[in-house]
Amino acid sequence: MTELSNLRVAIGQFASAEDWAANLKTCTDLFDEAVAGNADLLVLPEGAMALFVDDPVRIRQAAQPLDGPFVTGLAERTRGTTTTVIVGMHQPAEDGRVINTLVALRDGQIIDIYRKLHLYDAFGRRESDNVLASSDNPVVIDCAGWKVGMMTCYDVRFPEIARILADQGAQVVALPAAWVRGPAKEWHWEVMVTARALENTYYVAASGECGRRNIGASMFVDPLGITRARLGGDTPGLLWSEASAEDLDRARQSLPVLANRRFKVDPRPITPLTGPTTVSR
């Protein structure tokens, strides 16, 4: 593992607008900045394509297919570069709802997608009213020789998905989010992101949307649970850090929790007791 070069990571934080074209401009500007800084990986927020704060049903109207102008516009911007970008958007679903999707793009192509498994039916909100949950297995992609897993926002509260990504070889996990403000919610975010990194001894690159609804608080946490970099809640821009193969090796040797564990995680999905209908690929 130590023959890997350091993975240079940029984490983008911004407040989404209601207009997808404005958000595409923000994403492409952040991508250009990431490329100029020699980033291998750029992580952008969940649902970066459009904002639906005051009218959740608008999420259905704003959804676009993967070959729509938002994804294709960003994909075209990546053409001729080696930087991988992971961004959140919403696709139309067959039942009239939408699918909360992460898209990984590089050199003009979709590398892979991850569709959100755990919907935010908590703290008085019901994402499942307008969003269809996935039953896909978690996704790990290759990025500059590193294995990068993907999860979305509320997923971070479920340690089994984080462990499945570790079982799939993840060394870094990209975590786009739009973490909603509320009592103790900033603390929950910090605790969960840190715990997932520490209990699986991998890096977590967490991108949070900021603005009037969400906390921002993007952060990059190392395999021993140390926050290497963070952005303030209302600070748009790029957060920079690096994943070190030597540090990853050292952490896994000194804290061999993945080797010491006694139980496996069964990757077969279940239907939650009060959960939403799911869609599979």
Instruction: Report d(CA 228, CA 38) in Å as an integer.
Output: 19
Q: What is the DSSP letter of 15?
A: P
- Is residue 27 part of the annotated active site? The answer reads no
Q: Name the one residue in this structure whose structure tokens are 């989404």.
A: 16
Instruction: Report d(CA 2, CA 249) in Å as an integer.
Output: 7
Count of beta carbons in the 10 Å neighbourhood of residue 153: 28
Of how many residues is the chain composed?
281
- Is residue 264 part of the annotated active site? The answer reads no
Instruction: Report d(CA 14, CA 30) in Å as an integer.
Output: 10
From 27, 127, 143, 153, the catalytic residue? 153
Instruction: Report d(CA 251, CA 202) in Å as an integer.
Output: 9
Instruction: Provide the greatest CA pair distance for the chain.
Output: 50
From 116, 127, 209, 210, the catalytic residue? 116
Phi, psi of 31 (to 5 degrees): -65, -45
**Cβ contact 14:45 at 8 Å:** yes
From 46, 127, 209, 210, the catalytic residue? 46
Instruction: Report d(CA 87, CA 85) in Å as an integer.
Output: 6
- Is residue 153 part of the annotated active site? The answer reads yes
Instruction: Report d(CA 184, CA 148) in Å as an integer.
Output: 29
Q: Which residues are catalytic?
A: 46, 116, 153
